[in-house]
């Protein structure tokens, strides 16, 4: 039996923003200097994450440091979309390594943002732990779904990593304008909507996998009936 081709480098769905940005990425990739390899872009997430934590710590005393946090989020997005594009353009062959390291570092990036907020939030700080758990559950759902279907999906309900980064930047901007009270008030709202979204996503995912199992079961029964 032929082994299924690894599809982890191919995202089955992209958000509207990702589709628009892809044209810009395709234009930029040929101009990336040769000495910048795809793994350099992947590992740069570690640098952006460290800066996010440091700048967020400084934001305790001067909220304007959050502008630099937002800039690091933007840099992380740029390098994140470019690493895979550069790998495909140059045919580096780091498909499985890129899948593993890229998405592991995405989790590190998410943790750095929430750790940064923990320095600033005075009320509802425990909401950050629940938000991390829910966002982590979305990631776990994607990986388990991929293991069961070999279809890698990270966009659900037209909301994915790109939209999450935009959400963080918007939160930072409103935080600077309205102050700490704003973030403390909005965290429970993010928690509630994330929980509702997760329930919808898990329901749809398990239903799709259930249908795959039932289809395979019917095909196996047909094969057995033909042999008997």
The tens digit of pLDDT for each residue in 169-202 reads 998 998 888 876 666 677 788 888 899 999 999 9
CA 41, CA 221: separation in Å to the nearest integer?
A: 49
Nearest of 144, 142, 163 to residue 153 by alpha carbon:
142
Query: Would you place residue 10 in the very low, low, confident or very high pLDDT band (cuts 50, 70, 90)?
Result: low
Query: Would you place residue 157 in the very low, low, confident or very high pLDDT band (cuts 50, 70, 90)?
Result: confident
| pLDDT score of 169 | 94
CA 51, CA 159: separation in Å to the nearest integer?
A: 26
The tens digit of pLDDT for each residue in 107-147 reads 999 999 999 998 888 677 788 888 899 999 999 999 999 99
| pLDDT score of 107 | 94
Greatest CA span in the chain, whole angstroms? 77
The mean pLDDT of 215-226, rounded to a whole number, is 83
| pLDDT score of 14 | 67
Instruction: Please tell me the pTM assigned to this model.
Output: 0.85
The tens digit of pLDDT for each residue in 25-69 reads 888 888 999 889 999 999 999 999 999 999 999 998 899 999 999
| pLDDT score of 71 | 97
Domains observed in the chain: 16-227 (1.20.120.1760)
Quickly count: other Cβ atoms within 10 Å of residue 117's Cβ. 24
Residue 7, pLDDT above cutoff 70: no
């Amino acid at each position: 039996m032929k082994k299924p081709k690894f599809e982890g480098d191919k995202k089955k769905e992209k958000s509207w923003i990702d589709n628009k940005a892809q044209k810009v990425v395709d234009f930029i990739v040929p101009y990336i200097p040769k000495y910048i390899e795809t793994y350099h872009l992947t590992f740069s997430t570690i640098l952006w994450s460290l800066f996010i934590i440091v700048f967020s710590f400084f934001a305790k005393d001067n909220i304007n440091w959050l502008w630099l946090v937002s800039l690091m989020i933007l840099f992380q997005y740029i390098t994140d979309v470019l690493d895979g594009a550069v790998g495909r353009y140059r045919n580096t062959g780091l498909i499985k390594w890129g899948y593993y390291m890229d998405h592991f570092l995405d989790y590190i990036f998410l943790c750095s943002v929430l750790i940064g907020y923990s320095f600033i939030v005075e009320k509802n700080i425990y909401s950050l732990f629940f938000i991390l758990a829910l966002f982590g559950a979305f990631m776990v759902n994607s990986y388990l779904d991929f293991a069961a279907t070999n279809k890698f999906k990270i966009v659900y309900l037209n909301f994915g990593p790109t939209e999450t980064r935009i959400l963080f930047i918007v939160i930072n901007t409103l935080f600077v304008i309205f102050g700490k009270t704003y973030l403390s008030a909005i965290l429970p709202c993010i928690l509630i909507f994330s929980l509702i979204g997760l329930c919808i996503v898990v329901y749809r995912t398990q239903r799709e996998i259930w249908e795959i199992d039932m289809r395979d079961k019917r095909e196996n029964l047909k094969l057995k009936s033909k042999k008997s």
